[in-house]
Structure 1
Amino acid sequence: MPSENFKALVLRRPAERIEAAVETLTDGDLPAGDVLVRVHYSDVGYKDGLAITGAGHRQLVQSFPFVPGVDFAGVVELSDSVRFKPGDEVIVTGWGVGERHWGGYAKKARVKAEWLVPVPAGMTMRQAMTYGSAGLSAMLCVNALERHGVVAGSDILVTGATGGVGSVAVMLLHRLGYRVHGSTSRAEEEIYLRALGADEIVAAKDISELPAQPLLPERWTGAIDNVGGATLANVLASTAYGGAVAALGLVGGTDLQTTVLPFIKRGVALLGVDSEKCPNETRGAAWRRLVEILPEGLPDDVIEEIGLEALPARAEAIMRGKVRGRTLVAL
């Protein structure tokens, strides 16, 4: 198949600052891999914001030029793998794509076959990227709480509830019959969160700014924490006896100043959730369960669709905490 030109968002670092611009590439510019995918959709998450802006204590992307985009869904165009053939619809999330390996902000991507999972029956490629890593992570968190024995009807806290992971988590928990407490620093988003299924709205500062104590009054049986730092410490201290907290975020910091008391006095479990390198069997099952629980997909008011040109501005907005729900990138 002859090489063709296509558009991509390319990061360059001519000096100290990262610059992002839409450029024209060819198949020959793509990195090595055994599957060539024509990308239909990607999305925007916190890691994409870090990559494009260069924010954080350490730049996420270390080699340039670079095509970011940690997630994408598309159709296999060429394959040297027996697992996939031309025409297969596939999803890529994690495995360092968009961080160390060129990602989904391009019309084409070349990746390793072991990073791919099929788009599940009943889900479109567009729906897959309205979820992306955020939706996959939310599903993995819910699964982790269930495995620990946190049952429907329980009070569950979701921190960072207006973000991508939080929004999907609120919908999943509500649909499964939990009583959902959505925590946010944006009081104006109460209507949005209640529409997703939140029963109670909790101001983020009422958790993060609690006095540092090893144990606090028991408020919920489980939690999905997207924040980390002081928020996670206080969530653990406020979790009821035998409860569990699924943790996957760090926007509030990587330090965890806590004690062993929630664990040895209340039997609270801290469940680490990783969506980047979890086995394909695990992620495939999670994608299929998303279809089962939310067969209609996410509502339109949770999704905003943009093109490549709008990505730099959207990345800046994500880093300022000004984006809610899911941002879909149409290629």
Structure 2
Amino acid sequence: MNSLSTYKAFRVEEKDGEFISTIREILFDSLATGELLIKVQYSSLNYKDALSASGNKGVTRNYPHTPGIDAVGTIVSSKSSKFKVEEAVIVTSYDLGMNTNGGFGQFIKVPEDWAVKLPENLSMKEAMIIGTAGLTAGMSVLRLTETVKPEDGVIVVSGATGGVGSLSVAILNKLGYEVSAITGKETEIEFLKKLGADNIILRKDFEEIDKKPLLKPTFAGAIDTVGGVILDNIIKSISPMGVVTCCGNVASPKLDLTVFPFILRGISLIGIDSQNYPMKYREVVWSKLANEWKTDSLAETCTEISLSELDEKIDLMLKGKLKGRTVVKMEI
């Protein structure tokens, strides 16, 4: 058990209607109840973290608060029969970093049901390069590949320079799929090609596709991370019996569609909810991410920062100017 009374954290406070973040000393008493006390070695920056840090009450109800929906570290105290002191564990999603103090602090306390043992073939840093974004990508790939095989045709990935999109491109490439990547960032074409994208589609061109109920069947399947018009046009462009997974709505939560793609082409639309994904499937996906899905380009998707650099990266993320994954090293 840690003998200190305080730990350091990236803390967000509400003052006169504004949300201000600082690195502060926090009492251990502020931690939630749970069977596991974990010393955090790495966290990572996700869109939900940026929303929480900017005061989005749909993500975090009460402040002051420590964001960070991802964490990996070592157990320093355990009241669980499943986990032992000094074991390395990953904690992602559930309520971590939303209304429970999260991974942007040196310590977290969580229920045992939130933790997954760190796979042997994965370092702590690699686990956070993957993080919730990679877990979401893995869930999407798992559901997609249950039906669509490499020989069936091209898979299209939207938001391809983002965390989920970039890791999806890399995993699909490793599994032998031909991948088309949709991006709004013309400067990142080489980045996407290094990850394994075979074709690059500029977002401005894809959004201009006409509004017919069905479009030319171009893709065997898709992983969509943005929603809105992009998802509309993806669905209308899927070949018969194809599969689309969707996990984001940063463009829009609305769809403007007929039922024709689903009835006339028999396609499937599968929603991916990484926050409450059942643990037995999480363990399967983490195992695959650490082994047969582990990509050589994992480091290519990552920028490592310290807590003191978080404010700048949060601002860039909210402006849509980050690419790949941002990993936070907790040494201060």
Q: Under a length normalisation based on structure 1, what TM-score does the superposition of the two structures give? A: 0.96
Counterpart position of 1:243: 242
SS in structure 2 at match of 1:13 = strand
Q: Paired residue for 1:152, among 142, 150, 153?
A: 150
- Aligned-pair Cα RMSD in Å: 1.3
Counterpart position of 1:206: 205
Aligned residue identity for 2:107 = K
Residue 29 of structure 1: how far off its partner (Å): 2.3
Superposed CA deviations along residues 267-314 of structure 1, whole A, max 9, x for unmatched, are 110011111111111011101101223446644332111111111111
Residue 210 of structure 1: how far off its partner (Å): 2.2
Please give the alpha-carbon distance, in whole angstroms, between the structure 2 residues aligned to 1:36 and 1:298.
32
Conserved 8 A contact 1:247-1:271 = yes
Indicate the percent of aligned positions where both proteins have the same amino acid. Answer: 35
- 2:221 corresponds to 1:222: yes
Gaps of 5+ in 2: none
Conserved 8 A contact 2:148-2:221 = yes
SS in structure 1 at match of 2:144 = helix
Please give the alpha-carbon distance, in whole angstroms, between the structure 2 residues aligned to 1:213 and 1:315.
38
- 2:40 corresponds to 1:39: yes
Counterpart position of 1:324: 323
Counterpart position of 1:19: 20
- 2:302 corresponds to 1:303: yes
Please give the alpha-carbon distance, in whole angstroms, between the structure 2 residues aligned to 1:31 and 1:140.
28
Change in Cα spacing, 1:72 to 1:298, as seen in structure 2 (3 Å) is: farther
Aligned residue identity for 2:233 = N
Counterpart position of 1:123: 122
SS in structure 1 at match of 2:18 = coil
Conserved 8 A contact 1:35-1:112 = yes
Residue 59 of structure 1: how far off its partner (Å): 4.2
Aligned residue identity for 1:225 = D
1:134-145 aligned within 5 A? 134-145=133-144
1:23-172 aligned within 5 A? 23-54=24-55, 59-147=58-146, 149-153=147-151, 154-172=153-171
Paired residues, number = 328
Conserved 8 A contact 2:9-2:106 = yes
Residue 17 of structure 1: how far off its partner (Å): 1.7
SS in structure 2 at match of 1:21 = strand
Change in Cα spacing, 1:288 to 1:34, as seen in structure 2 (3 Å) is: same
Gaps of 5+ in 1: none
Conserved 8 A contact 2:69-2:98 = yes
Residue 14 of structure 1: how far off its partner (Å): 1.5
Aligned residue identity for 1:135 = G
Please give the alpha-carbon distance, in whole angstroms, between the structure 2 residues aligned to 1:294 and 1:176.
7
SS in structure 2 at match of 1:74 = strand
Aligned residue identity for 1:152 = P
